[in-house]
Amino acid sequence: MKLQSIEIQGFKSFKDKIKLQFNKPICAIVGPNGSGKSNISDAIRWVLGEQSVKSLRGSKMEDVIFSGTNKYKPLNFAQVSLNFDNIEKWIPVEYSEVNITRRVFRTGESEYYINKKPCRLKDIREIFMDTGIGKEGYSIIGQGRIDEILSSKSEDRRFIFEEASGISKYKYKKEESLKKLDKTISNLGRIEDILNQKVDQRDYLKEQSDKAKIGLELTNEIKLLDLYFNKLEIEKSEIEISKNIKETSSLKEDINKNKNTIESLNEEINLLEKEVDLLKEKYESLQLEYSKLEKNINDINLQVKLNEEKIKYEDSEIIRLKEEEKYLLEKENTLKIKIEKNIKQQKELEESIKEISKKIEDYNIEKNTFSKKLEENKEILKKLEEDKEIYTEKLKNIEVEQRTEENIENTNREKIKNNELIRDKLLKEIEALKDSNNLKRNELKDVDSSIDNLISNIKELEEEINNLNSAIEEKNNKKSDTSIQIKDLTREFLFYKNIIENYEGYNRQVSTFFKKIKNSKLNLLPLGTLAELINVEEKYSIAINNVLSGTLQNIVVDTENDAKVLIDFLKKEKIGRLTFLPLNKIKGRNPIPKFNDDKILSIASEIIECDDKYKSLINYFLGKTILVTNIDDAIIISKKYKQFRVVSLDGDIFNSWGSVIGGYSNKKKTINIINRKKNLDIINSKLEELKREYSLLENEITQLQKKLIIKKNLYNEKNKNLEKFFEEKKIKEKNIEEIKTQIFIKENSLNEIENSIKEFYSKSKDLKNIINVDEIKEELEKIKDNYNVVEEKIIQTNSKINYLDLEIIKEDSKLEAFKRDLGINDNNRSELKNELEDTDNRIRTISNNIVELTSNLKNRKEKLKVDNYNLDEVNNKAKLLEEIIPTEKSNYELQLKLFLDKKDEVNDLKNISSKLEYNLDIINNKIENLNNNKNKILSIILEEYNVFLEKFTLVYNIDNKSKSDLKKSKTKLKELGYFSTDSIEEYKIINDEVEFLTAQKEDLLNSKDDIENIIKNLDIDMKKMFAKSFEEINIKFNDIFHILFDGGHASLEIQDNDILNGGIDIVAEPPGKKLQNLSLLSGGERALTAVALLFAIFETSPSPFCILDEIDAALDEANISRYTKYLKSFTDTTQFIMISHRKTTMEIADILYGVSMEEEGVSKVISLEIE
């Protein structure tokens, strides 16, 4: 097998598609660093299945795709193909040429192909197993791989030897067998668990099956006896009914006679009743009129008295209001006078304030003038004091000069010499101080720069802290909102859960039934109510709810036997009557028709979501119901398809027989029992989502708080550092000032020294240069006199300023007093104005009240006259009625007595009829009870046994049986308890399953033994093959090591003599050196040792081709020569592709490929065939 070529497109730096032909034994790939040479070996490793991104020198798999440059856009996929010559069938496939391709997309998808047919990565790895080719094989030795062979752990090194020895495939088969063994053991465990469960079920069902057989015998016996005794009971009832019917005929005749008499009397009574009603009406109307007149008289009398009282009150009130008005007018005048006086006082106070303010201003101006003079005099005094000190000092100096004049001449030379020495020293010190000052200034600049950086960092940290606080606050708000939503949804969830568990909205019988069976075995029989077993989209819920209506509360069961057991329970517990829907009895309608009509939304059964087992049931109830949008569409469709029921989305129903059901229903108050579990699941999923969101928010807040703590700590640390820098800055500034002071002092000293030197060089005896002492003394006296004069002026000025300060304080006190009085005056004026305004308002109110009361008084007096006149009129009418009423009353009472006598006669007849009817009712009730008892027996028998008792005839004689025998059979059945006839068939099914599983278990046990034997045989074969191959490699490794190193020896050892699992140790001893650790070998020695091992493996198990990526980098020229010479000896069996920088290595190549980057980031390839 030969590697014919490689095609690369979009892989790493190879933007454009390239194809490299490897049709020579040795091919070399050369080029400068970074040009993309090693990307070719990476491409070969990658196409052979390399999944480690790190091995491909990347961080993620998308990194192998060309990422683009400034000039070129990134590509969306990378593809590499290897083409092999497979004539010798190294690769176990039927093709003479094999193409392996791998393609990866930027979206993360990866594809593999063998001969352009999609395959798995596993398929590619398997076909190259034991060939040395593969991502971990010894045919690809990349950068650092040589050193890695020696540096890696001895256990990790085994892989190369296993690949070379040919046991990789066996090891792979062993791993696959171990997986199968684990799977078999797991399956065996599962089957044993299932088998144990099935055996338990079989034993239980056997008991139930035997019980059911006995139960069926007892049930048949009870049925026969029950039918016989109930038939006898019905025959007795029919004889009793016939007898009672004859008695009712006689009673009915007597009742009819009384009825005719009563009717004639009732006619007379009706005439009398009308006369009595007329007389009564006339009498009551007169009586009512008289009562109204009496009431009217009382009302008028009351009104007259009330008006008289009000007239008296209003007279007195007018007098009182006029007096109050007079008082308020006087008060108003007084207040106006006070306000005028207050305004006058205000003007006086304001004038006084202006005068005092002007006076204070004048005082301040005068004070400022004196203060300026004081400052000027102080400056003059200071100057005179300085002059005084100067002249005093001069005088002292001259006196000293005169006293020492004689000694000067002798000491001048010595002083000049000393001063010159001091001058030189000062110059050096000043220079050093200036250098130190410059250094300190530079240090200060560095500190300032550090301070600026720290302040900038602190500001950034402050912003980050604020952002983190804002983020935490935002997350906490979200967390709070989420918590509220969780609480709301939890309440909603519990509410729905509660109404589902308690069957709220269902009939009392349904909810009571489910509560009673909740914790009993019977709970397994009902599959649920129809409403619980179906779901429907919300927009259809009203329509389905109205169509199915009470059917939604029907209980679904598997069989009619289950229904029978539950009905017995209902009777026993006296819960009531319920409807059961056995799935085995209720079958769906004919195939649902398809309608091609825009107004039809769907057949109702097709919009129902439910388990497949309930589809037939739903089809039965809704298979002939058409769903439309509104009532108008319903009218049209019901006419068009008369055999179908039609329902609108609003719940209006048009039945196939013609009736229409519709109208208003309160959607909010209507309790919908459909979709409850679905709604509960939706709420639960929302709740879980919110809980996850809440947990995520908590984690995010925790992370943000951690970040905040870190930022705050960093902020505090930066602030501390800033304080340190500020302290350091102060110290450095102080140091600079001290140096400046020293420089200044030393420069002054230097000037003094130089002046001294000049003075000493001048003629020291020249008396002209000496100032006259008398002149200095005279000048000094003048200065003292001036000093005293100025000092006196300062004292006078200070005295004047103090006087002005005192006057200003006095005037300020007066000003404050006047301002306070002004404020009080303002308040008093405001109060007076408010009082005046209140008084004016009260005067206006009183005036209005007087006018109103005067008008009312006039009206009341006129009304009083009218009321007195009306009173006389009403009294006259009342006297007339008092005379008429007694006569009308007498007529009414006489006619009423006659009417009542007739009525009593009718009542007596009615009592007689009632007794007769009562006796008739008793007999009818007997007949009805007998019929009801008969019908009840017939109904019970029909319901329990599905037999029409009227047509029942005994097949054989059971006269020797009594009701006690029936009772005994029922007791036996009751003692037997619940049984299911299905258990007989279920037992047969479960028994077959147990037998099948037992056989399966045996098969798995046999399979387990077979796999264990395969693994055992593989271990034996691998030991033999590895031991033989390892021994050959060891011998050849020593021989090649001796050749490459020109001496020395090397060997391989298996740790712990564990052939299958032990690590491989490498022992290498170059010539002239003692046996030592591999890590102590030089880089060249390590590389050459690894090459020796690689060549030993190639001699033992040659690989069809080998990629060597810069393995000669650490070798010197002598070692490279030996390495290349030995490498050539393998070219008969192995094809080499070398990536190298070394000239000696390039020389042995048959063809050279040059890789370069003409454009930045894009690799190009050129080829050169060497003759």
Average pLDDT on 449-468 reads 85
Q: What is the DSSP letter of 1164?
A: E
Tokens standing for residue 342: 């207050």
Is residue 114 a part of any domain in this protein?
A: yes
Average pLDDT on 86-99 reads 81
Position 590 scores a pLDDT of 64
Rounded CA gap, 585 and 335, in Å?
108
Rounded CA gap, 666 and 672, in Å?
11
Contact 1163, 1156 (CB under 8 A): yes
Per-residue model confidence as pLDDT tens digits over 122-163: 888 777 776 667 655 667 776 566 666 665 566 656 667 776
Band of residue 33 on the pLDDT scale cut at 50, 70, 90: confident
Is residue 562 a part of any domain in this protein?
A: yes
Position 325 scores a pLDDT of 81
3-state SS string for 762-807: CCCCCHHHCCCHHHHHHHHHHHHHHHHHHHHHHHHHHHHHHHHHHH
Of 293 and 646, which is predicted with more confidence? 646
Residues 6+ apart with CB under 8 A from 753: 419, 422, 423, 426
The SS3 assignment for 534 reads: strand
The SS3 assignment for 1049 reads: strand
Amino acid at residue number 637: I
pLDDT greater than 60 at residue 201: yes
Contact 709, 468 (CB under 8 A): no
Least confident of 214-223, 598-607, 704-713, 1031-1040: 214-223
Residues 6+ apart with CB under 8 A from 75: 10, 15, 65, 66, 68, 106
Tell me the CA distances in angstroms from 513 to 507, 528, 577, 866, 1063, one per residue in order.
10, 12, 10, 82, 73
**Last residue of some domain: 653, 672, 691?**
672
Tell me the CA distances in angstroms from 671 to 505, 506, 531, 549, one per residue in order.
6, 9, 12, 11
Rounded CA gap, 640 and 623, in Å?
17
Per-residue model confidence as pLDDT tens digits over 549-607: 888 889 999 998 999 999 988 888 888 889 999 988 887 766 677 788 888 999 988 89
Position 765 scores a pLDDT of 44
Position 6 scores a pLDDT of 92
3-state SS string for 147-181: HHHHHCCCCCCHHHHHHHHCCHHHHHHHHHHHHHH
pLDDT greater than 80 at residue 802: no
Is residue 125 a part of any domain in this protein?
A: yes
Rounded CA gap, 567 and 580, in Å?
9
Is residue 218 a part of any domain in this protein?
A: no
Contact 66, 92 (CB under 8 A): no
Per-residue model confidence as pLDDT tens digits over 1099-1129: 887 777 888 888 777 787 777 888 888 888 8
Element (H, E) at 141: strand 140-141
Rounded CA gap, 96 and 906, in Å?
128
CATH code for the domain in which residue 29 is found: 3.40.50.300
Q: In which domain, by residue range, is 97 found?
A: 1-139+1141-1171
Q: Which residues are 101's β-sheet partners?
A: 81, 113
Of 490 and 889, which is predicted with more confidence? 490
What is the Cα gyration radius of the chain? Answer: 63
Residues 6+ apart with CB under 8 A from 395: 773, 776, 777, 780
Tell me the CA distances in angstroms from 936 to 241, 939, 962, 967, one per residue in order.
16, 5, 22, 20
Average pLDDT on 976-998 reads 78
For tokens 């007339």, name the residue.
880
Average pLDDT on 906-915 reads 78
Closest CA to 81 of 13, 21, 163, 140: 21
pLDDT greater than 60 at residue 957: no
Say how many domains are in the chain: 2
pLDDT greater than 60 at residue 666: no
What is the C-alpha end-to-end distance of the chain, expressed in Å?
A: 24
CB burial string 1034-1058: b at 16+ within 10 A, e below: bebbbbbbeebbeebbbebebeeee
Contact 85, 22 (CB under 8 A): no
CATH code for the domain in which residue 572 is found: 1.20.1060.20
Band of residue 848 on the pLDDT scale cut at 50, 70, 90: confident
**Last residue of some domain: 639, 672, 705?**
672
For tokens 């004016």, name the residue.
840
Is residue 36 a part of any domain in this protein?
A: yes
Residues 6+ apart with CB under 8 A from 615: 588, 605
Per cent of the chain over pLDDT 90 is 7
Tokens standing for residue 949: 């008792």
Rounded CA gap, 349 and 819, in Å?
8
Contact 163, 130 (CB under 8 A): yes
Position 10 scores a pLDDT of 92
Q: Which residues are 144's β-sheet partners?
A: none
Element (H, E) at 457: helix 168-501
pLDDT greater than 90 at residue 8: yes
What is the sign, positive or negative, of the torsion defined by CA atoms of 545, 551, 554, 557? negative
pLDDT greater than 80 at residue 958: no
Tell me the CA distances in angstroms from 402 to 102, 393, 758, 1005, 1043, one per residue in order.
115, 14, 20, 138, 111
- Mean pLDDT, the chain, whole residue set: 80
CA angle 1000, 1005, 1009 (to 5 degrees): 145
Element (H, E) at 1053: strand 1049-1054
Element (H, E) at 1109: strand 1105-1109
Q: Which residues are 1066's β-sheet partners?
A: 1052
Band of residue 770 on the pLDDT scale cut at 50, 70, 90: very low
Is residue 1154 a part of any domain in this protein?
A: yes
Band of residue 103 on the pLDDT scale cut at 50, 70, 90: very high
Average pLDDT on 228-236 reads 75
658's torsion region: left (phi>0), alpha (psi -120 to 50) or beta? left
pLDDT greater than 70 at residue 764: no
* Neighbour count for residue 50 (Cβ, 10 Å): 19
Is residue 1158 a part of any domain in this protein?
A: yes
* Neighbour count for residue 506 (Cβ, 10 Å): 19
pLDDT greater than 60 at residue 42: yes
Rounded CA gap, 95 and 337, in Å?
133
pLDDT greater than 60 at residue 851: yes
Tokens standing for residue 524: 């397994």
Contact 981, 212 (CB under 8 A): yes
Is residue 539 a part of any domain in this protein?
A: yes
pTM of the shown model: 0.37
Position 102 scores a pLDDT of 93
**Last residue of some domain: 672, 688, 713?**
672
pLDDT greater than 90 at residue 81: yes
Average pLDDT on 986-1014 reads 83
